[in-house]
């Protein structure tokens, strides 16, 4: 079933994104001395993590859209 393959692909990309979030986003540190520094660190980390997730979602959508178009095209051709 092609959808199972897409699902496994989504899972693998999710693991990769998690790894990237940890290695890239969570490595950001503006210091811990003041509350402003702590808030800035957390906001920046989450902003970057959000950006990585967004890229993940776009890749995921692209793959699904191309599957749907191809499968529907085959169905229409059969008719």
Partner 1 sequence: MLDIISMAYVAITFIITFLVTFIATPEVAKVMKHYGITGDDVHKLSKVKVPEMCGLAILLGLAIGTTTYMILRPSYVRETLAFLGTVLIAGGIGIIDDLRPLGARVKPLLTALSCLPILVLGAYVPTPVFPIIGPVRLTLIYPFLIPIAIAVTSNGVNMMDIMNGSMPGTVSIIAAAATGVLLLSGEAQTASLAAGLLAAMLAFYYFNRYPAKVFSGDTGSLAVGAALGALAILGRIETVLVVAMIPHIMNAFYGLASVGGLHERREIHQRPITLLKNGLLKASTEKGAPVTMARLILAEGPLGEKQIVRGMIILTAVSSVLALVTYWITLGGRI
Residues that bind partner 1 (CB under 8 A): 1-4, 7-8, 10-11, 14-15, 18-19, 21-23, 26, 38-39, 42, 45-46, 57, 60-61, 64-65, 67-68, 71-72, 74-76, 78
Least distance (Å) between residue 78 CB and partner 1: 8
Decide whether 31 or 61 has the Cβ nearer to partner 1: 61
- Residue 68 gets the label, from left (phi > 0), alpha (psi -120 to 50) or beta, of alpha
In the three-class reduction of DSSP (H, G, I as helix; E, B as strand; rest coil), residue 11 is classed as helix
Mark out the alpha helices in the chain (DSSP H runs): 2-23, 35-78
């Amino acid at each position: 079933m092609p959808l199972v393959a897409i699902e496994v692909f989504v899972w693998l990309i999710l693991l990769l994104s998690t790894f990237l979030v940890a290695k890239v986003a969570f490595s950001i540190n503006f210091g811990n001395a003041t509350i402003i520094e702590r808030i800035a660190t957390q906001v920046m980390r989450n902003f970057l993590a959000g950006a990585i997730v967004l890229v993940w979602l776009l890749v995921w959508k692209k793959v699904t859209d191309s599957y749907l178009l191809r499968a529907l095209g085959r169905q229409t051709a059969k008719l």
